[in-house]
Amino acid sequence: MKKLLCEMEAYAQEYNVPIIKAEAADILLREAMEKKPLHILEVGTAIGYSALRMAECLGEGGRITTIELSDERADLAEAYIARSPYADAITVLRGDAAEVLPTLTDTYDFVFIDAAKGQYERYLDAIEARLADGAAIAADNVLFRGYVMDEQCEVPRRFRTIVNRLRQFLAMLDEKPQYEVMVYPEGDGIAICKYKKI
Ligand code: SAH
Ligand code: MG
C-alpha cells in the first residue's frame, strides 16, 4: 500500500493532478481515524489517492463511494484501487457531482468534498438529506491560495467567482445551526464540520 501511494504521489506530481496536500491530509485522516466511518462519500476522486488514504481509516466492513467527472481520471482511479487491498470497499461513480448527488439513497457518516471549488454549497445542499446524525464533513481547498481570508489583497479576476463562492460556503456553515465548523490553514485550507440533525 505504501508503495502504491508513493507511485500515485509521483503520478500526481508529474501530471499535475491536485491531490490533497500532505498537511491537509494529516487533518483529514486524523478526523477519519477518530471516527472510523462506515460509509464515506467523496466528491472529487481524481486518481483515487485521498480515497485510498481514507480507506485505511474505515471501520470494519466500511466502504467508500466516490464521484469523478473525468472519465480518464476515473479509469486511473479504478486501476489504482484494483491494485490495493480496498478494491471491494470503494465504488467510483462517474459524472457531474451536481447530477449524481441527488440520485444517492444511502446514508453517510463521513463526507470529503474536493471537486469544483465554486460548487461546495450546492454539493452540501444535495448531500444534507443523506447525512447521518453526527456525520463529519471535510472540505478541501477552502482558503484557495490564501485569497479567501485575505480582505486586503486583490483577488485576480479569474479566481473571483471561486473565492466569493468559497467565502459564501464558509459563511453558510457558520450561520446554519446544524453545522459546527473549524477551518484549518494547512495545505490549501481544510474545513472540518460536524453535522447535527435539528
Ligand atoms: N480528492 C482527490 C483530488 C480531487 S481533485 C485527492 O485528494 O486525491 C478534484 C477532482 O474533482 C478532479 O479530478 C476533477 O476532475 C473533479 N471534478 C471537478 N468538477 C467535478 C464535478 N462537477 N463533479 C465531479 N467531479 C468533479
Ligand atoms: Mg483538494
Ligand 1, residue 70: give the atom nearest the CA.
Answer: 15
* Positive/negative CA dihedral, 145, 151, 157, 163: positive
Å from CA of 7 to ligand 2 middle: 18
3-state secondary structure the chain: CHHHHHHHHHHHHHCCCCCCCHHHHHHHHHHHHHHCCCEEEEECCCCCHHHHHHHCCCCCCCEEEEEECCHHHHHHHHHHHHCCCCCCCEEEEECCHHHHHHHCCCCEEEEEECCCHHHHHHHHHHHHHHEEEEEEEEEECCCHHHCCCCCCCCCCHHHHHHHHHHHHHHHHHHHCCCEEEEEECCCCCEEEEEECCC
Å from CA of 198 to ligand 1 middle: 30
Ligand nearest to the CA of 190: 2
Asked if 26 contacts 50 with a C-beta cutoff of 8 angstroms, the reply is: no
Å from CA of 69 to ligand 2 middle: 15
In this structure, the residues whose C-beta lies within 6 A of any atom of ligand 1 are 18-20, 44, 46, 49-50, 67-70, 73, 96-98, 114-116
pLDDT of residue 176: 96
| Residue 112 scores a pLDDT above 90 | yes
| Residue 31 scores a pLDDT above 90 | yes
- The string of pLDDT tens digits covering residues 114-157 is 999 999 999 999 999 999 999 999 999 999 999 999 888 899 99
Taking residues 26-54, report their average pLDDT.
98
Q: How far is 24 from 150, CA to CA, in rounded Å?
A: 19
Ligand nearest to the CA of 115: 1
| Residue 99 scores a pLDDT above 90 | yes
Question: What structural domains does the chain harbor?
Answer: 2-195 (3.40.50.150)
- The string of pLDDT tens digits covering residues 47-80 is 999 999 999 999 999 999 999 999 999 999 999 9
Ligand 1, residue 20: give the atom nearest the CA.
Answer: 7
Extract the C-alpha cell encoding 93: 461513480
Q: How far is 143 from 155, CA to CA, in rounded Å?
A: 12
